[in-house]
Structure 1
Amino acid sequence: MAWIVLVLAGMFEVVGVLGMNRLKEKKDKLSWLLLVGGFVASFVLLSVAMKSISMGTAYAIWTAIGTVGGTLVGMLIYGESRQIRRIFFLCLVVGAVIGLKVIGH
């Protein structure tokens, strides 16, 4: 269950980043809600997950989900570069996360 909570925490981090990006274009209530709500939910869920998953592993996976998620959203929604090198390095991040999960808690 802690792993599901950790994945949700990473996904809410992406929501917070979306709010930041939206805020630079529109300073409306929805932008602030996405920013603050996304990051608050992310931190709360991360702290819950860290009750069962070691801090180093949880933090590394949480930031990786945010990094990969934010980059994919940028590529798919905001038209950011889709260079093969970017995709290669995103795959390395995903590989590192899988490695952390495989070697233990």
Structure 2
Amino acid sequence: MAWLVLVVSGVLETVWAIALQASKGFSRPLPSVVFGATVLMSMAGLSYALRTLPLGTGYAVWVAVGTLGTAIYGMLALGDPVTVLRVLFLAMIIGGVVGLKMAH
């Protein structure tokens, strides 16, 4: 259950990062509220998962899921460049997360 909560919390990290950018410095109310709600839920989920998962592994997975989600969103929706190196390095993040899970 902790792993599922951790991954969902990582996805919420993606949502709050996107909402943070969309809030334009907290000048837009709806994205600002979405940011606040999702950052709280994301942190609560991370906190719950860290009750049973090692700190280094849990935090690394949480950050990796958020990083991957945000980078993929940027490439698909915001026109961020899609390059071979960028995709390779994102794949390396996935490999690192899989390695951490297997080492757990």
Aligned twin of 2:30: 30
2:27 and 2:76 map into 1 onto residues whose CA distance is 23
Task: Describe the superposition over 1:22-51 as per-residue Cα deviations: whole angstroms up to 9, x where unpaired.
Answer: 112883221112211111111000000001
Q: In structure 2, what is the Cα distance between the partners aligned to 1:47 and 1:33?
A: 21
What is the TM-score with the length of structure 2 in the denominator?
0.95
Change beyond 3 A, Cα 1:25–1:39: closer
**Gap regions ≥5 residues in structure 2:** none
Q: How many residues align?
A: 104
Q: Which moved more, 1:92-101 or 1:26-35?
A: 26-35
* TM-score, normalisation: structure 1: 0.94
Q: Which moved more, 1:88-97 or 1:17-26?
A: 17-26
Aligned-partner Cα distance in 1 for 2:39–2:76: 22
Superposed CA RMSD in Å reads 1.3
Residues 49-92 of structure 1 show CA distances to partners (whole Å, capped at 9, x for unaligned) of 00111111000000001111110000011110001110000000
Report the AA paired with residue 45 of structure 2: L
Equivalent residue of 1:27, what SS? coil
- What amino acid does structure 2 have at the position aligned with 1:51? R
- Percent sequence identity over aligned pairs: 35
2:24 match: secondary structure? helix
Residue 74 of structure 1 aligns with an amino acid whose one-letter code is G
**Gap regions ≥5 residues in structure 1:** none
Q: Distance in 1 between matches of 2:55 and 2:35?
A: 24
